[in-house]
Amino acid sequence: MQQKTVLVPGARDVEATLDAPEDGEASACVVMCPPHPQHRGHRGDDRLVAVAEYLVERGVAALRFDYGDWDEGLGEREDARNAVRWASERYEHVGLFGFSFGGSIAALAAASVDVELCAVSLLAPTAELEAGLDAADALADVTAPLQVVYATRDTTADWEPVVEAARECDCEVVELDADHFFVGRTHHVAEAVGPFLADAC
């Protein structure tokens, strides 16, 4: 796997890691949103890395980015949209994935970005963010194939409204026996999320 650090331009320049196949050939890229930056969330998150490795092995690139300065979800949503735009200028197909706070950001970005996405996957997303942004409501505006993966023993995130909204939208919903952080289950995360994104993109 090739890895390089790239700068995603925008009002808030952010750094990202681009994971790509060894031959550098990929027509699709999945942008990955990390968990809450105020709770040590970053682009090296184990769940993001596990899904990225799964995708790269199947010829799909992954862009794992860090957020800019904390902005209660508003600036972070724009960081995600800018990352999607960056990827769309370089790849034919672009997908979006996020974990926890990042799952909410992925939903909000997917509902409002000016790029057609091939797929969106949300892992343990929470319904509402500090700025009053509602990820559950955003699902109705996501036009790409959508997957929501949640943990049955998750007592950290308010995931139920997002799962309910996903079912109302007739989206794919996957249940995993795990806690919010999927401790000891990152390979299960990759096996649940990876095929959905790889097949769609």
Q: Which of 111, 116, 118 is nearest to 95 (CA)?
A: 118
Give per-residue pLDDT as tens, 121-159: 999 999 999 878 999 999 999 999 999 999 999 999 999
DSSP state of 29: E
Q: Which of 122, 143, 140 is nearest to 196 (CA)?
A: 122
Q: Give pTM, 2 decimals.
A: 0.97
Look over the chain and give the mean of its residue pLDDT values, rounded to a whole number: 96
Output the CATH code of domain 2-200. 3.40.50.1820
Structure token pair of residue 174:
């996957």
For the cut 90, the answer to whether the pLDDT of residue 7 exceeds it is yes
The domain spans of the chain are 2-200
